[in-house]
Structure 1
Amino acid sequence: MKRRKELTEEELKIIKKTINDDEAFEKFFRNCYLKNLRPATVEYYKNEFHGAKKFITKQLVECQQRDIEELILQSKKLMKVTTINTRLRALRSFYNYLHKNKLIETNPMKNIKLLRDRQKAIETLDNKEIERLIKTIRKQKSFVSFRDEVILLVFLDTGVRLSELVGIDVEDIRENKIIIRRTKNLFERTVYLSEITQEQLRRYIAIRGDVKTKRLFINHDNNELKPHSIQTQFTKYGKKANINKRVSPHTFRHTMAKRMIMAGVDAFTLMTILGHSDMTITKRYVNLWGPDIEQKHKQYGALKGLKL
């Protein structure tokens, strides 16, 4: 039988050099380490790839756009939109890397957009709730409760992330400021403390004393404090204080941002204090909590001051 001039798709696949998932993951994560991505980011990618493979029967490197679309449709039956979008972001990074380095011919994520989701209200604590929380913490009169009071003050004063707070060393405290080294975007920044936080922090350091760990915040065994412990503690305090909102480090961060905006701080300054890498989230905060637009128009309208 006479051979065809052109090879079939199956024959082309035999000739073409292919890569399997294990090889692709090895190259992708090597690149992550070379870029010095945070361990938490690498772990996030690993978890999302593992989760995606539960929905896709073929190799991830063999996926086409329709496979990703099917993954989305199946995921919608079981997962929240925000969870699906988190997975899609991880897959986008993975396929962008493979396509850029010519390890796959087509990028299955090229035309895939994140799912639209309703913007939920961002919860913050008001003055009375903060005061109730402080009173609840102070009732215990223990090292742990005093430590947690100081942690709360630092959160509300600076807006630092939980991961940043647990990474603070004693030597990072400089009178009225803290040097934040363990940041999300790897850029160190300085945050500032009010007088009351400075005073309580000095008292805490005196009570803390000299221990083996250099971390500022420690547990009752004098070891460094873990993020999960802080989260658990404040959830308990919130329930005891009868606060019907999520009481967490992220809530404190939002509360600090809102209070700063209501006090008149500009978006660029807030972005710098919070350590945002771009203005997107900061602008959302300003839009949510900024001064009333009608009042701004009355104050700064283009015709104000003209004698017409």
Structure 2
Amino acid sequence: MRRQNKLTNDELKVIEKKISDEEAFDLFFRDCYLRNLRPATIEYYKNEFHAAKRILDKSLVECTQKDLEELIMTSKRLMKVTTINTRLRALRSLYNFLKKNKYIPSSPMKNIKLLRDRQKTIETLDNKEIEQLIRTIRKKKSFVCFRDEVILLVFLDTGVRLSELVGINVEDVRGNKIIIRQTKNLFERTVYLSEVTQEQLARYIKLRGTVNTDRLFINHDNKELKPHSIQTKFSKYGLQAGISKRVSPHTFRHTMAKRMIVAGIDAFSLMTILGHSDMTITKRYVNLWGEDIERKHNQFGALKGLKL
């Protein structure tokens, strides 16, 4: 039988240069290390790749657009939209890298968009809730409770992320400011403390004493404090204080942002303090809580002028 001038798809597979998932991962993570990505980011990629492989039961480098569409359909029955989008972002990074370096002919993510999700209300704590939380923490006179009070004050005063707070060393505290080194975008920044927080932090450092770690915040065994421990603690305090909202480090960050916006801070200064890499999230905060919105509502509210 005479051969055709054009190779079939099966014949093309014979001569195409193939790459395995293991080889693809090695190349991708080597690039991550060369770009000095955070260990947490690299771990996130690893977790998402392995989770996607489990669901697909197929090599990622052999996936097609249809395979990824099936991944989305299956995932929608198992998890939230935000979780699915987190996985899709990881896969997009992998496929873009492989396509850019010509390890695959095209990206199966090319025509796949992130799922639309409802913008949820950002919860913050009001004055009464903050005061109730402080009173709850102060009920027990212990090193751990005093430490947690200081942690709360630092969160509310500076808006630092949980990962940034646990990365603070004692030497990073310099009077009325703290140097934040373990940042999300790798740019160090300075945050500032009120007099109340300065005084309580100075007392905590004296109480902390000299231990075998440079980390500012330590546990009762004099070892560095882990993020999960802080999350668990404040969730427990929130329940004890009778607060129905989620009480977490991220809630404190939102609360700090809202209080500063209501007080009149400009968006650029807030972006710098919070360590945002661009204005997107900062603008969302300003739009939510800006005084202009409140003033316009008071001026033009639908119930204005009604005698009720």
* Distance (whole Å) between structure 1 residues aligned to residue 225 and residue 241 of structure 2: 23
Deviation at 1:143, TM superposition (A): 0.5
Please state whether the residue corresponding to 2:291 is helix, strand or coil: coil
Aligned to 2:277: 277
Matched, 1:136 2:121: no
Aligned to 2:116: 116
Aligned to 1:291: 291
The 1:298/1:228 distance shift into structure 2, 3 A limit, reads closer
The letter for the 2-side match of 1:185 is N
* Distance (whole Å) between structure 2 residues aligned to residue 292 and residue 242 of structure 1: 32
Corresponding residue pairs, total: 299
Deviation at 1:56, TM superposition (A): 1.5
* Distance (whole Å) between structure 2 residues aligned to residue 119 and residue 141 of structure 1: 41
Deviation at 1:95, TM superposition (A): 0.5
Aligned to 1:78: 78
The letter for the 2-side match of 1:250 is H
Aligned to 2:107: 107
* Distance (whole Å) between structure 2 residues aligned to residue 245 and residue 293 of structure 1: 24
Matched, 1:30 2:53: no
* Distance (whole Å) between structure 2 residues aligned to residue 196 and residue 57 of structure 1: 56
Identity of counterpart residues, as a percentage? 79
Deviation string 1:146-197 (CA, Å, 9 cap, x unpaired) is 0000000000000000010000000001100000001011000000000000
The letter for the 1-side match of 2:122 is I
Within-5 A mapping of 1:197-276: 197-276=197-276
Within-5 A mapping of 1:2-41: 2-41=2-41
Matched, 1:168 2:171: no
Matched, 1:93 2:98: no
RMSD, aligned CA: 1.4
TM value normalised by structure 1: 0.95
* Contact kept? 2:287, 2:293, Cα under 8 Å: no
The letter for the 1-side match of 2:195 is E
The letter for the 1-side match of 2:283 is K
Please state whether the residue corresponding to 1:54 is helix, strand or coil: helix
The letter for the 1-side match of 2:64 is Q
Please state whether the residue corresponding to 1:190 is helix, strand or coil: strand
Gaps of 5+ in 2: 300-308
* Distance (whole Å) between structure 1 residues aligned to residue 19 and residue 28 of structure 2: 12
* Distance (whole Å) between structure 1 residues aligned to residue 64 and residue 253 of structure 2: 40
* Contact kept? 2:168, 2:180, Cα under 8 Å: yes
* Distance (whole Å) between structure 2 residues aligned to residue 298 and residue 208 of structure 1: 49
Aligned to 1:306: none
Gaps of 5+ in 1: 300-308
* Distance (whole Å) between structure 2 residues aligned to residue 257 and residue 40 of structure 1: 25
Deviation at 1:248, TM superposition (A): 0.6
The letter for the 2-side match of 1:208 is R
The letter for the 2-side match of 1:108 is P
* Contact kept? 2:163, 2:227, Cα under 8 Å: yes
The letter for the 2-side match of 1:225 is L
Comparing 286-295 with 243-252, which one deviates more in the overlay?
286-295
- Runs of 4+ that moved beyond 6 A: none
* Distance (whole Å) between structure 1 residues aligned to residue 209 and residue 120 of structure 2: 43
